[in-house]
Copies of this chain bind each other. A is one copy, B any other.
Amino acid sequence: MEPEPLSAARRTVDLRIDAAWIAPVEPEAALAEHALLVDGGRIVALAPWDEADARYVARVHVQRLTHVLIPGLVNAHAHSAMALMRGVADDVPLAAWLTEHIWPREAAVLGPDFVHDGTLLAAAEMLAGGITACNDMYFYPEAAADAYLAAGMRAMLGVPVLDFPTRYAPDAAGYLAAGLAARDRYRREPHIVFSLAPHAPYTVGDDSWRAIVTLARELDLTIQTHLLETRKERADALTQDGRSPLARLDALGATGPGFVAIHAVHCDEDDIRMLAARHCHVVHCPASNAKLASGIAPVAAYLAAGINVALGTDGAASNNRLDLMGEMRLAALLAKATTGDAAALPAASVLRCATLGGARALGLDATIGSLVPGKAADAVAIDLADIATTPCYDPVSHLVHAAGREHVTDVWVDGAPVVTDRLVQRIDVAAVKGSAERWHARLARPPG
């Protein structure tokens, strides 16, 4: 019997990426010498190289033979435009940092141009470091959305809500109206989603929270908020309200599987039980929490309680980098150091937080967060052939503990290249640097 010619059985696909290893997150173990097959922006299959040869013909065949391929990293909390204030004030506690350094500068420059330029700067940094999706919370979300679309990144834009006026809006109703108008404008953009982002329990009163909860239910929107970032927030709430801020939000109907608690540094055992029982998500921002001396979130306890944990950078003004590989490393080190358990937050768990954990927090885990057939081909190639990653006993360990964002060489969103050979493809980096220098000149002196 004649063997059937191979080509007759081979499926033509848009893209094949060969890597020394693929760490798909689902399942946890890395696959050696596998290819990712992509068609129409979606993952078709993961297959050993020889099986890929036998079953597929790719229009584009990319070989990254000393690399590990991972899902695009999800930065689950950022104030991206604040990249323009990177390092403007360090070694200052949160209250003084906000009132003396950040808010006066924001008051002087805030507007759509500032947000657009800052977000584009942030997007260039994030993409180059393997971040393909960002959960952004800032003013003028439509200006940020334009920057993400230009960059080729995914983003969840939070509709900011405060009970006090800024240049952007006069009151809670004004913030919501402006944000929902922005949401309408980007309804047809598959890379852009919106959520509701009341700033914090202590800056948004009960009436506004009720309006937000009602809207979130009507429109099926995620609610995200800064929660228990500082010890003072808990103490003040107990004094004023007799309850943890989380208990108050729960009583207002805000908690649930669409509720994202950002920071969650000072949750007690009751809070942890409530977050778990309501299937809420936590975004861990270890660098920002440490740098502002807010503390270290009990992430190992969250994971042990079954709470979904994502990772975030926070804004570059308090970090001062938008580097999720750095956050992975720091999260692992802090969990081990604070629990006294060297097995806490193993490498595979922290990689999961940085990818699938973020996707779940954003409600996007049907589309992104792991390299499984049917999901979008958002992927990152990280070169492990550097002297600093030699030798390699375990690529997943290296992702967390030896490699850095500088080892990211290629990034794809929906199978389209957005970073190639370390170069961001869709952003004019020189122009972005030029605009950053102009904002720098305006921001360098604290406003009188």
The residues of A with any CB-CB pair to B shorter than 8 Å are: 84, 86-88, 90-94, 97, 121, 124-125, 128-129, 231, 286-287, 289-296, 316, 319-323, 326, 330, 332-334, 336-344, 346-347, 385, 387-394, 397-398, 401-402, 404-406, 424, 429, 432-433, 436-437, 439-440, 443-444
Contacts and interface: CB of A to CB of B under 8 A. Distances in A.
Contacts of A424: 387
Contacts of A388: 125, 128-129, 321-323, 405
A388 B433 CA distance: 10
Nearest to A347: B90
Given A387-B121, A390-B121, A401 B320 contact: yes
B436 A390 contact: yes
11 contacts: A88-B393, A92-B342, A93-B341, A93-B342, A125-B387, A231-B340, A293-B342, A296-B338, A323-B388, A330-B333, A393-B443
Nearest to A129: B388
Closest 6 CB pairs of A and B: A391-B440, A406-B406, A290-B337, A290-B333, A293-B342, A91-B346
A440 B385 CA distance: 13
Contacts of A391: 84, 86, 436-437, 439-440, 443
A87 B393 contact: yes
Given A87-B401, A347-B90, A390 B97 contact: no
A340 B293 contact: yes
Contacts of A320: 397-398, 401-402
A408 to B, nearest CB: 11
B436 A87 contact: no
Given A90-B394, A390-B433, A401 B124 contact: no
A295 B340 contact: yes
A361 to B, nearest CB: 23
B387 A433 contact: yes
Given A321-B401, A429-B387, A343 B92 contact: yes
Given A91-B342, A91-B347, A92-B342, A401 B291 contact: yes
A91 B343 contact: yes
Contacts of A392: 87, 440
A312 to B, nearest CB: 15
A110 to B, nearest CB: 17
B337 A289 contact: yes
Contacts of A436: 390-391
A124 B387 contact: yes
Nearest to A348: B91
A341 B125 CA distance: 29
Given A90-B346, A392-B440, 19 more contacts: A84-B391, A86-B402, A87-B393, A87-B398, A90-B347, A90-B394, A90-B401, A94-B342, A128-B388, A289-B337, A291-B332, A293-B336, A293-B339, A296-B338, A316-B402, A322-B388, A387-B424, A390-B433, A391-B439
